[in-house]
Amino acid sequence: MIFAKQSLKITWAALLRFWRLWAAIAGGLISAQSLPRENLWGLIFPSVALLLISVRGRRFWPALGLGFVGGLSFYLSQIEWLSLYLGWLPWVALSVMEAFFFAFGMVAIALVWNWLETNLIGRFKTLLISLAIATLWTSREWVSTHFPYGGFPWSRLAQTQADSFLANWVFYGGLSLLSFMVTFVSALLLCTFIEYAGKGMPKRFFRESTLWITAATIAFVTALPLLTFPSAKPEVGTYVLGAVQGNANAGLFANPVPGSILAKHLIASRALAKHPLFKDLQGVVWPENASDLSPLTNPIAEALITDLVDNKLRVPLFFGTLTERDGLSYNTSIHWEPGKGMVDYYDKKRPIPFAEYVPDRSFWYPLAPDLIGLIQRGYSFGTRDGIFHSGSTKLGTLICFEIAIDEVNRDLVNGGAKIILAQSNNADFGHSDETYQQAAIVKLRAIETGRPIVYDSTVGSTAVYLPDGTIHGQLEAFKPGVLIERLPLRTTLTPAMIIGGSLDLSLNLLSITLICLLPFRRHKRGKPAQ
């Protein structure tokens, strides 16, 4: 019995000794519950707080290790859907790579936090530290979404807030500003708690200036999005658009009967004629990879699509297929007009590395020959703009994961797009959370860009998002179906579109400045709390 008690004490002592490690792991794992479909968006705040507290007061190497563990649990828990079509290796490999970026970001946070705690004084100390932490976190997200090979524009904190009242922050500054606010609130509450936890309840709790500053700041962060009402009213008319969900298995490594994917979309499109708005139809969109036979090279596909557009729809069709030109392959969206055929096309500008192409194949192949060998075809990078002219209306198109890339969306709005078509193929990810996480990004983009976005997927869930974030129409996943919606055409630029990439640039420059302060000698007023 004595030995059992001693063993229990030793176990609890060991657990307490490694509390930072458990905090990092827990923080990373909890983050996944804040994403769709679980959608417990409020959990992202304790998640970020746990990740931050795990590195507070740590020097370079301990912060790097804890940051890596936290980052690994953060990504592994959020992108498990990646394992569905290629197994565990790409899921783990991508999570490990992103965890390294995450770890160095946490190192920067830890070191700058230590420096500021030692050097800052005054009632605004907690506020300034929290702003610095949010700046560094958001800059780390920018790095992760751009490097290497174009980055991985997923798992941003903003993604967790699509269904919260904070979502309207993207109206003012895009996804980066929303991520900044989530980190800022988490850090501010944590730093305020740390400041007073060791003191106990102050005698004049409600007169403490720091507490009032924290309360006023939280009130502002909460009130502004609550009092923001993005408009979804037409400014230059409307456009009646149909969207088709064929429920086709068009995955990268699917092996369907040639022509079967095209056939499913042709069959599903018949339902458009039964819709009350069919007589007002001005255009129809199919998803990415909707035609597994390219009408540019296959006469049967050309005849079938021509018959559909010329004789049944009598309006333009925008659809995805794979094309080849000059010996290169492209993931393409085609604009097909009645009586004219193809009048325009857009090639995906940002194909997905290690899925749609293999960068530096000679280097990566010896490391994972079985995996790299599966990716036989490499899609080239498109260079054309994504603007399609349908009469006097400009429609912007992007393909699948490009919805998560800031620059692609900004370019479409700056190019005059009044509607954005987000053509996607989610067949590889089955019934996982991936399509719902992507839909959350689509909703945020609609608010950010001030444009209606038609998210059209091969398997769902196809939906139309208005500029105020509301869903105008939605189809059930894994069932063929159609939508026809009258969409508002808008030309007004949101503050986020006016600011463009300057917010990211400013935050990145400020992060570099904060890091450059570290070599300077600190005032010796004591070490930060451990």
The whole-number pLDDT of residue 338 equals 98
The set of residues, in sequence order, having a beta carbon less than 8 Å from that of 491 and lying 6+ positions away, is: 235, 236, 418
HSE of 27, CA atoms in CB hemisphere, 13 A: 28
Q: Which of 61, 455, 56, 89 is nearest to 243 (CA)?
A: 455
- pLDDT, residue 199, reads 61
pLDDT tens, 158-174?
999 999 999 999 999 99
What's the pLDDT at 375?
73
pLDDT (tens digit, 9 = 90+) per residue, 456-487? 999 978 999 999 999 999 999 999 999 999 99
What pLDDT is recorded for position 13? Answer: 61
The tokens of 281 are what?
């139809």
On whether the CB atoms of residues 333 and 322 are closer than 8 A, the answer is: no
> The tokens of 99 are what?
């965890």
Report how far residue 228's alpha carbon sits from residue 181's, in angstroms, rounded to the nearest whole number.
15
Given a cut of 50, the residues of the chain with pLDDT beneath it are 3, 8, 206, 526, 529
Pairing of strands 341-347, 419-424: unpaired
The pLDDT score that the predictor gives to residue 413 is 98
Q: In what order do the strands lie in the sheet with 238-245?
A: 341-347, 328-337, 317-325, 283-285, 238-245, 481-488
Record the pTM: 0.94
Backbone angle region of 75, left / alpha / beta, with phi > 0 → left and psi within -120 to 50 → alpha: alpha
Q: All domains of the chain, ordered by start, with CATH? A: 19-230+502-516 (no CATH), 240-349+381-493 (3.60.110.10)
Q: Does residue 10 sit in helix, strand or coil?
A: helix
Find out whether the peptide bond into 77 is cis, omega within 30 degrees of 0.
no
Residue 360: the pLDDT is 85
